[in-house]
Structure 1
Amino acid sequence: MKTSVLQSLVLGTGLAFLLVACSQQDDTNPNDARIEIRLTDAPNPNIKEVWVDIKEIQINMGSDSNGWTTLTGTHPGVYNLLELTNGRDTLLANASLPSGKMNQLRLILGENNYVITQDGQKEMLSTPSAQQSGLKVLVNTELSGGVLYRLVLDFDAAKSIVPAGNSGKYILKPVIRVLSFVPSGGIIKGFVAPDSVLTTVFALQGSDTVSSTATNQGNYQFSDIPAGNYSLHYYPAPDSFKTAQKDITVTLGQTTVVDTIRLELK
């Protein structure tokens, strides 16, 4: 989107757009981190399907081994692990949580766990420990407020499904590891003076708008914005003020604090 088009957009939408943008900004707690938990797998040539019943996800962010809390925003369901191969994954949770050190997470399983063998037979899997204490995964990662983290878990079906002797039955002995756990972008924070002037801020790369927001009492913030070089464009709502521009660089997982922008009268 060209700069001239941006200016027309701001002037055309007027105060209503700016009030909506401020309302959206107020709903975001900058002290919270956000996390996406995804599940993937490697293929198992001996089994046609592996269905795992995931009831909830719990996290531990303290040193107390009893300090488990249920993660809101979890998507419970019965998942076929063998559909999650060749780079495919599924979203298990999308939630906000306090910043700080995340020590562990665990998957609590239900009773509907089973495999479909290559000859089409359904065999139930016994998982008593997973239904009670859960499948624990060590994380030990510090989470910063305002950053979105993407955690990909590899549920290794090939190693987790073990034949029970010569009975033709199978046992679930889960093998789960953290495939990746990375911040997906950075944060831009700044201030526009005078703080009484409602201002729309656009983050551009070249002529493309990557994100936009509006000031709230002079403050503005972009959360989870991709790393790279940006040109910030400031459009005050009153026509009596000049627009402004600032070039910045965003680093993955870090906060870029922009120098105060002081609006000038025309």
Structure 2
Amino acid sequence: MRNTTIAFRSVIIAIGAIAAIMIYLGGCGGGGGVSASTGTLKLAITDKASDDFKNVVVCVKEIRVVPAGHETASDDDPALPVLARFTPKEGTFDIMALQFIQTPLGEVVLPAGTYSQIRLVLYPNPKGNQAPVNYLTLNSDTGTKIPLTTPSGQQSGLKVRGPIEVKAGVINAFMIDFDPNTAVVKTGNGNNNGNNNEYILKPTGIRLIHMADILTQFGSIIGNVSNALQNWSSATVSIKRRGAINDTTPIASGQIFATYTSGKWQAPFSAFVPPSDPNDLTSGYKAFINANGFVLYSSATVPVVQGQARDLGQIVLVPQQ
């Protein structure tokens, strides 16, 4: 598998085969509309290509938003607003089909404030010999549906960490990004249908990204953040425009979380942004990576081409002295 993988995506609300579902909460300041004390949270989903997988299919039952301080609440807790509910047909997503495409999931009016998680509650795979609803197929064997094991996915839901800041009076657009190369983990040594071999879907490969703009055209900036000697735990990645526009506020930002693999603490990232102006050679983007205890990383200004990924390669964090 490639080590550099996609972690951030842009948001496009207008496209996608799945219709967005709106569920407005009663008692949220304006009683259903956006007011001075409420904001609209919009959510979409996307994914990247994989070396090994042809299809990675998940069947989402519902999506809940978790306010800060309610991280241990059960999924049926009324304090957890429901962003969307799906029938099995509506909630079936082949995330491998979403590279450079975004599918809207829904939107909800919420009290302004901080939310810590998005929970994806999945339909369970049927028992017996029935076809699984959460499954993958391999590029080497596209005809075999291999069940995906989704620990807690049907009970407490797949927990996608924030934080999510919902600002009053505006639309707050977020993207759920699946990276199959880190979200899907193979265990055991059996064959694809044997009891000693299974594929587990883990939330560590699912990320939540805040985008400043809703994009209709975009490319991406990708890279892999690492340090072999010191665990950096988590980092904030921010992308800012440079050239005719010099941002102080990032056009895309989000957190990445280190895992210890291949002898180092590392995590991939990517940011989806509008393509650079081909008529302006100074047009581009800078990536900033901020981790506690490490020197702030700042990339060179790089251009981005529509539908292509600009790879910054391995980024080794330098400890502060």
Q: CA deviation at 1:27?
A: 6.9
Greater per-residue strand proportion: 1
- 2:115 partner letter: M
Q: CA deviation at 1:104?
A: 1.6
Q: Who is 1:141 aligned against? A: 164
CA distance in 2, matches of 1:157, 1:71: 26
Unaligned runs of 5+ in 1: 1-24, 185-266
Contact preservation (8 Å) 2:40, 2:171: yes
Q: TM-score with structure 1 length normalisation?
A: 0.54
Contact preservation (8 Å) 2:64, 2:84: no
C-alpha RMSD of matched pairs (Å) = 2.4
SS for the counterpart of 2:163 is strand
The answer as to 2:80 corresponding to 1:69 is yes
Q: Who is 1:81 aligned against? A: 95
Q: Deviations over 1:61-81 (max 9, x none)?
A: 131332651424445511001
Q: Who is 2:187 aligned against? A: 164
CA distance in 2, matches of 1:124, 1:29: 41
The answer as to 2:164 corresponding to 1:153 is no
CA distance in 1, matches of 2:34, 2:81: 20
The answer as to 2:105 corresponding to 1:92 is yes
Of 79, 92, 115, 2:136 maps to 115
Q: Percent identity of the aligned residues?
A: 29
Q: Who is 2:118 aligned against? A: 105
Distance 1:37 1:27, change over 3 A: closer
CA distance in 2, matches of 1:89, 1:132: 26
SS for the counterpart of 2:168 is coil
Q: CA deviation at 1:183?
A: 6.7
Q: Who is 2:17 aligned against? A: none
Contact preservation (8 Å) 1:51, 1:115: yes
Q: CA deviation at 1:140?
A: 2.1
Contact preservation (8 Å) 2:63, 2:84: no
- 1:42 partner letter: K
Q: TM-score with structure 2 length normalisation?
A: 0.45
The answer as to 2:153 corresponding to 1:130 is yes
